[in-house]
Amino acid sequence: MAITTITTTTTNPGQHYNRFEEAKKLDESKTRVKGLVDPGLTTIPHILHHPPQNSPNPKPSTRNPKLSLPIVDLSSTRSTVVDQIRHAASTIGFFQIINHDIPKIVMDLMLSSIKSFHELPDTTRMQCYGRDMSHGVAYYTNVDLYKCKEANWRDSLEVCLGPTPPEPEYAPEPELTVGLKWHTDPVGLTVLLVNEVRGLQVKHVEDWIDVKPDPSGLIVNIGDILQEATCDFEETMISNDEYKSVEHRVLANPSREPRVSIPVFFTSRMTENMYGPLSEVVSPEKPAAYRQFTISNFMEKYYSEELRGKSVMNAYKVSNI
């Protein structure tokens, strides 16, 4: 793994700090960002300071004050649902689904069990800390801790659910987050369950839309690689810009109640198969906007950098070759 040392200036001119050393200290202490506030810390370490351009809009958008995520009601007729999803996927790139038949009690139990995991005594939880996904489970603070300039206020429990689920002793638990830099998801589709603590924002043209989650709904967003969920996972495509993988971020959580989110990422296997825009979405008027790629190459590229908007997708644009 390539590790980059980035040294930046503190807010006090003239003072420097070694970002890599601070990242290493945070990682090796296994305290995670939650562990920083547990003893009652009132200031945050420098590594978590973001420049103003990463900060949230101070006010809601004045251009589009009413913008919100489209709702797709899964109890409607199939053709209505298909039309609504197609429209949402090709405009905002995000939508909320309601009437999905997942009992509310199951959703609440998922959220509360994740919260309980993150609240386990340090000694128990620290045993799980690590970035190695070879057993299908990892638990760490900041996926790009050694690559990013500024760290996010976010601890994650990552579980690989398929094709081989984790061994039983590694209990699957998704993740808790209270702050995430703007990014797109390097997957086909993300289905997201969040608790009542707000924070998710979605970029639409020049605005950041505050997502107001429906308590019994699920949020869905289009990822960089749009996937057709066939049984053998072979039919993968980029929709040639027809569907939008949009930038989103999570604001730092000012409340005492932790923000819990459970994103389930649907993606393809890491094969050497070549993927690219499907022939159905390519025409003389709309030639392929992306070159062919392998999922493993795409993922390697994505995780070799810090989380950063659409930079990886753009690297595959035909116009950028």
Ligand X SMILES: O=C(O)CCC(=O)C(=O)O
Q: What is the 3-state secondary structure (H, E, C) of 181-194?
A: EEECCCCCEEEEEE
Rounded-to-5 percentages of helix, strand, coil across the chain: 25, 25, 55
Buried b (16+ CB within 10 A) or exposed e, 215-251: eebbbbbbbbbbbeeeeebeebbbbbebbbbbbbbbb
Binds 193, which of Fe ion, ligand X, none (CB < 5 to 8 A, cut-off by type)?
A: none
Q: Is 261 in the site for ligand X (CB under 6 A)?
A: yes
| Residue 131 · residue 140 · CB < 8 Å | yes
| Residue 172 · residue 199 · CB < 8 Å | no
Whose tokens are 């900041």? That residue is 142
Q: Please state the closest distance from residue 69 (CB atom) to ligand X, in A.
A: 12
Q: Please state the closest distance from residue 76 (CB atom) to ligand X, in A.
A: 25
Q: Is 248 in the site for ligand X (CB under 6 A)?
A: yes
Residue showing the smallest CB distance to Fe ion in the complex: 185
Q: Is 252 in the site for ligand X (CB under 6 A)?
A: no
Q: Please state the closest distance from residue 184 (CB atom) to ligand X, in A.
A: 9
Q: Please state the closest distance from residue 7 (CB atom) to Fe ion, in A.
A: 28
Q: What is the footprint of ligand X within residues 162-181 (CB under 6 A)?
A: 177, 180
Q: Please state the closest distance from residue 248 (CB atom) to Fe ion, in A.
A: 6
Q: Is 236 helix (H, G, I), strand (E, B) or coil?
A: strand
Binds 250, which of Fe ion, ligand X, none (CB < 5 to 8 A, cut-off by type)?
A: ligand X
Q: Is 224 in the site for Fe ion (CB under 5 A)?
A: no
Q: Which of 27, 155, 175, 185 binds Fe ion (CB under 5 A)?
A: 185
Q: Please state the closest distance from residue 185 (CB atom) to Fe ion, in A.
A: 4
Q: What is the footprint of ligand X within residues 182-201 (CB under 6 A)?
A: 185, 192, 194, 200
Q: Is 246 in the site for ligand X (CB under 6 A)?
A: no
Q: Tell me whether residue 176 or residue 289 sits nearer to ligand X (CB atom).
A: 176
Long-range contacts of 65-69 (CB under 8 A, 24+ apart): 67/204, 67/207, 67/209, 68/209, 68/211, 68/212, 69/94, 69/95, 69/96, 69/202, 69/209, 69/211, 69/219
Alpha helices in the chain (DSSP H): 19-29, 32-37, 78-90, 104-118, 122-126, 295-303, 311-315
Residue showing the smallest CB distance to ligand X in the complex: 261
Q: Which stretch binds Fe ion (CB under 5 A): 45-53, 179-187, 205-213, 308-316?
A: 179-187
CA angle at 105 for the pair 101 and 106, rounded to the nearest 5° = 70
Q: Please state the closest distance from residue 241 (CB atom) to Fe ion, in A.
A: 19
Binds 192, which of Fe ion, ligand X, none (CB < 5 to 8 A, cut-off by type)?
A: ligand X
Question: Residue 317 pairs with which residues in a beta bridge?
Answer: 290
Contact set with ligand X (CB under 6 A): 177, 180, 185, 192, 194, 200, 248, 250, 261, 263
Contact set with Fe ion (CB under 5 A): 185
